[in-house]
């Protein structure tokens, strides 16, 4: 905690004071102030075509007054704007129907910032993590990485983005909790294209300096070149190796639908605490604070002021936890795991920094080989006949309880025979239960390198190794 309050914490304290003044001392209130500077340099057809940045401060107030609850937010942070927010939220609370399930405010609690959280700040005593250079990255620095990506693709058509995000946030409530934190992160995601074939490379990092556009551009190009002239395969059950990029889709759907405390409370999740629902090789951890080796861009507290901390969701195949905010926790007699967000009361709390544990490292890391990323090579070598899948796309839930999902492959699929990549394959549609795919006995191997990967839509990131699975249900191909 810095000795001098951040601008965000000053705003939060001011709003709490206004609540006490305008609504009385019995009002319960919590305030989150978030300043985000997001910059994204986007390229297509091997040129920068969209180059954007914004710096926005938003203030969110949730108030519980006389048994009724209302939430308000604003980006107008002057004195008048904050006062208008408080007045509007009080007025909304007073005419709202009674809230029978208000879970109360988080009590003051210290943050868990000793694990090397990149947002620890200059006074934390930690000399690693938060990277000022990433927080203050310029358009020219992002453009330079784009240029490297484009050049490394060797004349192939390229598209993608380079992104930097800086967040400084604070939380305060009328119960006395007052915390702040900051974080910075970078990501790069691009494809190379040739003759109708696409290849992809993406990576997230706590430091922009750790993103090498040339390495990523070369990887994307290698995949695209190897994906030309694909064959078409018939639907059926296939043994597969999913590269880390594809595995992030599994983690994302597990996070949103499976380990979501509200979905669990409403019996709409597959999760059963204490049950061996996964193969023993699967251990899944939510790591909002990251570690020295694998920084994460999460803040050290959630939108209810609950300190964030690592949460083991699956340990050696046994489901051990789901993510909770205070409301979902109260519903099942649990405690908040620090996963409240602005939308968690409606959509449920979901883990945002999932890491699937990699297998122990044996030997030196292997370099990429053609279309195969290095960490997937040992898994490929053990496959008699199956598919190597780079990426999954447009996955949607058919049934939330069983987490049956349909979607497509993207950015490169190959047939593997006797441990060797033999032919590129056209994109395929699948319809597959994700928990079943990772069920006991279904995981034939886990890669030994976990890769930090950005989600395409938001600033969330996942850490994924490659996976070798016994079966994946292909239900369609390019012909239908």
Stretch that binds another protein, among 93-101, 274-282, 310-318, 354-362 (CB under 8 A): 93-101
Smallest gap from residue 113 Cβ to another protein (A): 28
Stretch that binds another protein, among 52-60, 249-257, 363-371, 461-469 (CB under 8 A): 52-60
Interactions with another protein, residue window 254-273 (CB under 8 A): 266-268
Q: Per-residue string for binding with another protein, 184-223, x by CB under 8 A? A: -----xxx-x----x-x-----------------------
Stretch that binds another protein, among 56-64, 103-111, 119-127, 371-379 (CB under 8 A): 56-64
Of 261, 281, 203, 206, nearest to 463 by C-alpha is: 203
Paired tokens of 227: 């994906």
Smallest gap from residue 74 Cβ to another protein (A): 5
Under the binding rule (CB under 8 A), the answer on residue 362 touching another protein is: no
Under the binding rule (CB under 8 A), the answer on residue 406 touching another protein is: yes
Under the binding rule (CB under 8 A), the answer on residue 286 touching another protein is: no
Smallest gap from residue 115 Cβ to another protein (A): 29
Stretch that binds another protein, among 6-14, 225-233, 430-438, 443-451 (CB under 8 A): 430-438
Alpha-carbon distance of 201 to 218, in angstroms, equals: 9
Residue 367 or 480: the one with the smaller Cβ distance to another protein is: 480
Under the binding rule (CB under 8 A), the answer on residue 478 touching another protein is: yes
Binding residue for another protein (CB under 8 A) from 28, 99, 294, 368? 99
Smallest gap from residue 400 Cβ to another protein (A): 6
Q: Per-residue string for binding with another protein, 145-184, x by CB under 8 A? A: -xx--x------x-xxx-x---------------------
Binding residue for another protein (CB under 8 A) from 126, 233, 334, 408? 408
Residue 325 or 357: the one with the smaller Cβ distance to another protein is: 325
Under the binding rule (CB under 8 A), the answer on residue 237 touching another protein is: no
Smallest gap from residue 472 Cβ to another protein (A): 11
């Amino acid at each position: 905690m810095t000795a001098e309050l951040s601008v965000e914490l000053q705003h939060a304290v001011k709003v709490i004071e206004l609540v006490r003044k305008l609504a009385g001392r019995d009002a319960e209130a919590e305030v989150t102030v978030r300043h985000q500077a997001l910059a994204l340099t986007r390229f297509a057809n091997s040129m920068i075509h969209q180059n954007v940045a914004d710096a926005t401060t938003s203030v969110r107030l949730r108030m519980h007054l006389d048994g009724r609850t209302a939430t308000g937010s604003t980006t107008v942070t002057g004195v008048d704007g904050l006062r208008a927010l408080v007045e509007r939220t009080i007025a909304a609370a007073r005419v709202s129907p009674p809230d029978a399930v208000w879970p109360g405010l988080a009590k003051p609690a210290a943050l868990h910032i000793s694990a090397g959280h990149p947002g620890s700040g200059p006074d934390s005593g930690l000399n690693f993590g938060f990277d000022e250079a990433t927080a203050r990255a310029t358009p020219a620095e992002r453009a330079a990485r784009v240029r490297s990506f484009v050049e490394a693709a060797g004349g192939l058509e390229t598209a993608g983005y380079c992104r930097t995000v800086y967040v400084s946030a604070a939380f305060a409530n009328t119960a006395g909790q007052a915390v702040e934190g900051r974080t910075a992160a970078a990501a790069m995601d691009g494809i190379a294209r040739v003759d109708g074939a696409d290849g992809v490379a993406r990576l997230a990092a706590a430091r922009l300096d750790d993103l090498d556009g040339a390495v990523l551009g070369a990887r994307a190009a290698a995949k695209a070149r190897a994906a030309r002239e694909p064959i078409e395969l018939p639907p059926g059950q296939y043994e597969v190796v999913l590269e880390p990029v594809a595995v992030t889709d599994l983690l994302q759907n597990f996070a949103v639908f499976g380990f979501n405390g509200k979905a669990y409370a409403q019996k709409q999740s597959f999760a059963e605490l204490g049950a061996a629902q996964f193969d023993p090789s699967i251990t899944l951890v939510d790591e909002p604070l990251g570690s020295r080796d694998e920084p994460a861009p999460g803040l050290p507290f959630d939108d209810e002021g609950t300190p964030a901390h690592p949460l083991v969701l699956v340990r050696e195949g046994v489901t051990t936890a789901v993510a909770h905010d205070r409301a979902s926790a109260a519903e099942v007699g649990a405690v908040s795991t620090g996963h409240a967000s602005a939308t968690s009361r409606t959509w449920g709390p979901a883990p945002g920094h999932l890491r699937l544990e990699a297998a122990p490292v044996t030997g030196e890391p292997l370099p990429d080989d053609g279309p195969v990323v290095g960490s997937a090579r040992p898994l490929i070598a053990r496959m008699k006949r199956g598919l190597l899948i780079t990426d999954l796309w447009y996955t949607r839930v058919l049934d939330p309880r069983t987490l049956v999902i349909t979607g497509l492959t993207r950015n490169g699929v190959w047939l593997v025979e006797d441990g060797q990549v033999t032919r590129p394959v056209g994109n395929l549609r699948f319809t597959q239960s994700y928990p079943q795919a990772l069920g006991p006995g279904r995981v034939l191997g886990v890669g030994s390198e976990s890769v930090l990967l950005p989600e395409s839509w938001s600033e969330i990131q996942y850490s994924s190794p490659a996976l070798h699975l016994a079966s994946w249900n292909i239900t369609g191909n390019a012909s239908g």
